[in-house]
Amino acid sequence: MKIVLAPDSYKGTLDQKKAADIMARTLTDIGHLPITKPMSDGGDGLLNCFVDEGYEKIDLNVTGPEGSTVPAVYYMKEDTAILETAEACGLHLLTGSEPGRRTSFGVGELMLNALDRGARHIILGLGGSATNDGGFGMFMALGGMAKDASGKPVSVMNEDIGKIDELFIDSLRMLDGVKMTIASDVTNPLFGDYGAISVFGPQKGLKPEQISPFENMLVHLHHKAMDIFKEDHSSTPGAGAAGGLGWMLANMGANMKNGGTLIAEMIGLEDAVKKADLIITGEGRSDIQTMDGKAPSVVAECADRYGVPVYLISGQITEDLSAHFAQTWSLADDSKDVNEVMENTEECLAELIRRIFG
């Protein structure tokens, strides 16, 4: 059989490319014809989808979330650049800093590097960020300026946002003539119970007593930003992504798009599906939220248009998704628990593929 492999990452164990490659090797040994199309919904790991798609890998150093220099990469083909927020301010880069001592400055540096290389279309995945600064650091890296009430420059760190008296865009490198697309897997607004701070702040180290002060800092930044930007995007779906980075990018003219749909288009998933006998997708943990725009749901929708069956193979499946997939399989089942699977994910995945298709 010709089988398209379009998994997302198995978080904490395998990225999407490694997962697809393991499936491909196992299926080839059995006698099937695999086609790898690693998928993402815009979360961290998005760059893995483009390793085999003819893009050039660009290596550079940028400012990390804690202000020190970190290595980063992005991918570029012709005038299209694909960037990942987590490369510059990802949770995996933290070494123990307090949430206030962080910045998204490096994301702006990634964008500047791509622009200087001639990018006219920038795609930025927003997943996996460690910051709660409303994109303030990125704004500063792109040439924005902030001054306090005495006219002194304000630092790029999250904790100093409350000191801002005025923002300036005289030297801001705007995106005029550049198409900017945000790939996001969330639709949260900037503020409120479902906003950037309340929902995602705790994942980035905010304690319950810090939620309100950090929310107030974003409100203050929003108030000052409305003096320089024409439209209010705080309620736009996805504004709260990456600690409010989605909101700042929208202020600068970026368009938000469901990450899974965008990635599927860019890697030519539909063309591969048309010619396939079967599709395999999966992720680390699947539940009913999987069907809310996550990568497996995008794959399933694409396959459904052409009547091609889809198997879901995930690390865990905690709710019944059999109505959405031809078959569902979990690496953690009656014979293996979650810890065993996480310690031996590669072997468990290969073993399950052999059991299903051998």
100, 132 Cβ separation under 8 angstroms = no
The domain covering 46-260 belongs, at the CATH homologous superfamily level, to: Glycerate kinase, domain 2 (3.90.1510.10)
Pairing of strands 278-281, 121-125: unpaired
What does residue 259 show for φ and ψ, rounded to 5 degrees? Answer: -60, -45
At 209 the three-state DSSP class reads helix
- Tens-level pLDDT at each residue, the chain (358 residues): 999 999 999 988 999 999 999 999 999 999 999 999 999 998 878 999 999 889 999 999 999 999 999 999 999 999 999 999 999 999 999 999 999 999 999 999 999 999 999 999 999 999 899 999 999 999 999 999 999 999 999 999 999 999 999 999 999 987 778 999 999 888 999 999 999 999 999 999 999 999 999 999 999 999 999 999 989 999 999 999 999 999 999 999 999 998 999 999 999 999 999 999 999 999 999 999 899 889 999 999 999 999 999 999 999 999 999 999 999 999 987 677 788 878 889 999 999 999 999 8
Where are the domains positioned within the chain?
2-39+267-357, 46-260
105, 141 Cβ separation under 8 angstroms = yes
Measured between alpha carbons, how far is 259 from 125 in angstroms, rounded to an integer?
A: 7
**pLDDT value of position 43:** 81
Check whether domain 2-39+267-357 has CATH 1.50.10.10, yes or no: no
